A and B are shown apart, each in its own frame.
Chain A
């Protein structure tokens, strides 16, 4: 029997495969254009970035990155010439535009805030999540399903709606615009994902290991420490990366609850302006730096992605 029909799953013909391939690759290429454009724009000069028609071939420059990390003041050419030789790439680039570097911009501190808050909240969420997931997975907890649903339901609230009372609460407690406040908040948001994902991972570890360890005289706690944790490492790592990505990307809470000291990169990047409006090469440079870690993580997470986005409901 020949099985070479166009859409048969049993044995797709080479022609239908080729067509499917062409369509998928076409979509992939179109969908990646905005990202390539961000990357390209970050290496353009401001005039090049707003050229018409849009420039696909251009002289790469690091001006965008210089502008991202510095603040500049406009000076007369005479004054700039009196300064002596330029001290490095950025200084030179900026002087060509009749400016001098006045100091560092806010980008680096904001980026560091993103790092501190993302890692801090991820650690807390994974720590609490691992304990709870083990508890739900191994013990008879009264009302377990209701508690698990409650934990998940905290995820369904629109952030802005939660932000109103949180804003007031943090104002009373002195937590508004502090890294600690944001870490607590992101931990609370992420812990639901951590519990659900980790419960799935721990459920897959056979109980016999612990039981055997306990027969050997270990306590439950020691058995958890020696047998379950080592086997759940992959799951814990995947969960941590998901929490990290969420905290890294989060905008709504950050925009409403931080304004200065604890502001993270997502609300900051859109506010980067140059002379006469948005400094697009600098914005693109900030965006590029901000996206690179996520790209790396996405590639690392490929196999766990499905689990993460469905709260462990769908496993390959």
Chain B
């Protein structure tokens, strides 16, 4: 209605009035509006990326900027692919990504499914559950070191209280077996609400009448869950999994503060290896090559993610 009125009015208006009065054409304006953002990203993201690509073919060391830089061709890349430590770091990263996603998805979906029952006060408790994910992973992760301290830490105390292991023996951060789990616990505590929130949106997007129809057809609850609830919420669950997957692939803050990659290198994820190589051993060229390899991997994930995102949007 409004559109038609506008069209008629536009037709009645003389041409110069409608389009370019005292101003810039739409095309010029679009360009003016979008270019600052693109320029900023080119300067802060893309230019450094190309610099990193250049460095990845050299033996440059950031702490010796005056040394002659040699071009090594592909040898950095060759060395990375043959480097035992890099493969172990990638395995550690995969291990973290797998377990954190599994736990967060199972707990998160279960919570969402329970909240969807709409018991009294569910809005309030949902807000309480959401709090951990909004906080700084670094600042909160750092405090978990205190909770994990053997004997004096609350977490260790509770564990020893429940299991009867002497409190000095609950070495969450210094025991090779337990350290990865210490990180997985904190990550799960922090990000389960994130998965829960997305799953909740998925469950709430299911129209009531489908269930009503199923009730009429005498479908069992079990059957309703498997053939209505889960398939309809699945795109949302996938979205949450992809988001967490990409985030945890980059995992740095918490690991750096809780264990710094130790004990030994049991919790050394890709980002920690990168930090050690780049800012401790100062092998700038070598670490740049590793960074580029990670880019390519993450970019692949990002592509899959956007496709899934569009699928969800189409529903």
Q: Which 3 A-B pairs have the closest CB atoms?
A: A251-B138, A161-B291, A21-B119
Given contacts A10-B211, A158-B291, A280-B146, contact A188 B44 (CB under 8 A): yes
Asked if A134 is an interface residue, CB under 8 A from chain B, the answer is yes
B interface SS class: helix
Compute how far the CA of A158 lies from the CA of B132 in the bound complex, rounded to whole angstroms.
22
> Which A residues between 12 and 56 are near B, CB-CB below 8 angstroms?
12, 16-18, 20-21, 23-25, 27-28, 31-35, 37-38, 41, 49-54
User: Would you give the 0/1 interface string for B108-140, flagging 1 where the beta carbon is closer than 8 Å to chain A?
Assistant: 000100111111111001111111111111111
In the complex, how many angstroms separate the beta carbon of A295 from the nearest chain B beta carbon? 7
Asked if B36 is an interface residue, CB under 8 A from chain A, the answer is yes
Partner of B29, one of A8, A220, A270: A220
A161 and B295 form a contact (CB under 8 A): yes
B257 and A157 form a contact (CB under 8 A): no
For B13, the closest partner residue in chain A by CB is: A215
Given contacts A158-B298, A211-B6, A291-B139, contact A3 B215 (CB under 8 A): yes
Give the size of the chain B interface in residues (CB under 8 angstroms).
122
Compute how far the CA of A49 lies from the CA of B157 in the bound complex, rounded to whole angstroms.
13
Asked if A197 is an interface residue, CB under 8 A from chain B, the answer is no
In the complex, how many angstroms separate the beta carbon of A122 from the nearest chain B beta carbon? 14
Given contacts A35-B131, A139-B29, contact A128 B36 (CB under 8 A): yes
A310 and B211 form a contact (CB under 8 A): no
Given contacts A131-B37, A313-B313, contact A165 B48 (CB under 8 A): yes
Given contacts A249-B135, A287-B139, A306-B197, contact A1 B215 (CB under 8 A): yes
B274 and A309 form a contact (CB under 8 A): no
Could you jot down 24 A-B contacts, CB within 8 Å? Answer: A20-B114, A21-B117, A24-B119, A24-B122, A32-B128, A33-B154, A34-B143, A52-B152, A129-B37, A158-B252, A161-B294, A164-B284, A164-B288, A168-B55, A188-B43, A214-B18, A217-B17, A217-B21, A249-B135, A250-B136, A270-B142, A291-B139, A309-B194, A314-B198
Asked if B151 is an interface residue, CB under 8 A from chain A, the answer is yes
For B21, the closest partner residue in chain A by CB is: A219
Query: Max chain B CB contacts within 10 Å: which of A132, A160, A169, A290?
Result: A160
User: Would you give the 0/1 interface string for A173-187, flagging 1 where the beta carbon is closer than 8 Å to chain B?
Assistant: 000000000001101
Contacts of A151 in B (CB 8 A): 37-38, 41
A-side interface size class: 35 or more
Given contacts A34-B147, A314-B239, contact A245 B140 (CB under 8 A): no
User: Would you give the 0/1 interface string for B251-295, flagging 1 where the beta carbon is closer than 8 Å to chain A?
Assistant: 011001100000000000011001100110000100110011011
For B206, the closest partner residue in chain A by CB is: A9
User: Would you give the 0/1 interface string for A208-238, flagging 1 where the beta carbon is closer than 8 Å to chain B?
Assistant: 1001101101011100000000000000000
